[in-house]
Amino acid sequence: MAAPSRRITAAICTYERYDLLPGAIETAIAQTLPAGTFEVIVVDNSPDPARSARESAAFAQHENLVWLHEPRPGLSNARNVAARAARAPIIAYLDDDARADPAWLEHIAGCFDQFGPDVQVVGGRIRPWWVAPRPDWLPDEMLGSLTVVDLGPERRLLTEREWVAGANIAFRIDALRAAGWFDTSLGRTGGPASLLSSEETALTDRIRAQGGLVAYDPLAAVEHWVDPERLTQRWFRRRAAWQAVSDYLKDPNGRLARRDDCWDSVKAFLLARNPADRTLRGLALEQDRAADFRWQISAVYNAVTALLAGLGEQDDL
C-alpha cells in the first residue's frame, strides 16, 4: 500500500450553507502547515448538484482542495464520505459555520504526534462567535448546547467523562474504520427540522471501548457561529428534547435503567411550580432566572427520556 501523500486532512461537511461555507473553507486553506502536507475536503450534501458545481468553481484554484457532491443526505454519511476520500492518516472535521485558527491543523497533528498511536481522537477549544447579544437567562453551564467547548489551558488526555464536539474533532482514520465509521442512524439529515445528534460521541465511545484514548489541545481552536435563532428558550427546550432522543438511541439500556430517576426529577420540578403550571405548561413556560431555566431544561430532557423508556403511573389506592 502506498504511503499517504498528506499529513492531515481537514473535512467540511455542508448542507445549503453557501453563505457561511466560504469563510470556513478559507480558514481551512490558510493554515500554517505547508500546503503540500494537508488537504481540504468539502462534502456538499445539498440537493442541487448544479448549484454545488457552481459554488465549487470559486475554489478551483486551490490545488489541495477537493469538493465532493454527495447526494445521499445525512451528516454522518457525509463525514464517512470525507474519511474514505482522505489521502492522510488523520482527518479533522470543521463545521461549515466555524472558522479555524491559523495553526488549527498544526496543533491537532502535533497533539497526535506527542501522545502517540494510542491517542486516536483529538478535540480542541470551540469559542462562541456571537452575532447577537447573549441572553441573561443563558448560564455558562448550558453553553455546551451551543457547541462551546473549553476544557482548560493544557494539552492533555481526557477522562471518560469528558467530551469533545463535532465542530472541532479529529480522528485517526484507521480507528474510524476499526470502529465501524460514523453511525448513519445518528446525526442530522437535511436542514434544521431534526436536531438528532451524538454521532461523534457514539463513535468516540466505540473507539474508547477498543482501547483508544482521547486528547484535547486548547490551541487547536475554532470559532463557531451562534445562530441568533438559537438564542431563544424555545430552541433550548427543543434541543434538550432531541438530545434525550439521541442519547436514548446511543444507549437505550442505560437510559432505560434511569427511567424512574428521570421521572422523579420531572415531578420535583413540576411540584416546585405554581399550581396552575404543574402540567406540560410548566415545561414550556418562559423562565426569567437562569437557575430556573437550567432546571426546566433538565426536566424537559428527563421527561422525554422517561417517556421513551416506557413511563407509567398509577393512582394511589
Place of cell 470556513: 24
Domain annotation covers residue 138: yes
Question: Which of 229, 258, 281 is the last residue in one of the domains?
Answer: 229
**CATH number of the domain within which 124 lies:** 3.90.550.10
Are 157 and 225 in the same domain? yes
The answer to whether 243 touches 198, Cβ cutoff 8 Å, is yes
The rounded distance, in Å, linking the Cα atoms of 64 and 41 is 8
Are 50 and 38 in the same domain? yes
At 177, which amino acid appears?
A: R
Are 44 and 178 in the same domain? yes
Are 210 and 256 in the same domain? no
The rounded distance, in Å, linking the Cα atoms of 14 and 97 is 9
Are 32 and 170 in the same domain? yes
The rounded distance, in Å, linking the Cα atoms of 92 and 12 is 9
Domain annotation covers residue 261: yes
Q: What angle do CA 89, 93, 99 make, to 5 degrees?
A: 130
Give the closest residue to 174 by CA, choosing from 256, 86, 257, 103: 86
Are 67 and 183 in the same domain? yes
Quote the pLDDT of residue 81. 97
Domain annotation covers residue 313: no
Are 214 and 261 in the same domain? no
Domain annotation covers residue 16: yes
Tell me the residue range of the domain where 35 lies: 8-229
Are 179 and 99 in the same domain? yes
Question: Which of 209, 229, 249 is the last residue in one of the domains?
Answer: 229
Q: What is the end-to-end Cα distance of the chain in Å, rounded?
A: 72
Are 182 and 304 in the same domain? no
Quote the pLDDT of residue 23. 96
Quote the pLDDT of residue 163. 86
Running along the chain, 317 residues long, what does each successive block of 10 average in pLDDT? Answer: 72 95 97 95 95 95 95 92 97 97 98 97 97 93 92 95 91 96 71 57 90 97 95 95 87 89 94 92 94 95 93 70
Are 124 and 190 in the same domain? yes
- Report pTM: 0.86
Q: What is the dihedral of CA 125, 130, 131, 133, to 10 degrees?
A: 170
Q: Domain total for the chain?
A: 2
Quote the pLDDT of residue 1. 42
Domain annotation covers residue 189: yes
Domain annotation covers residue 2: no
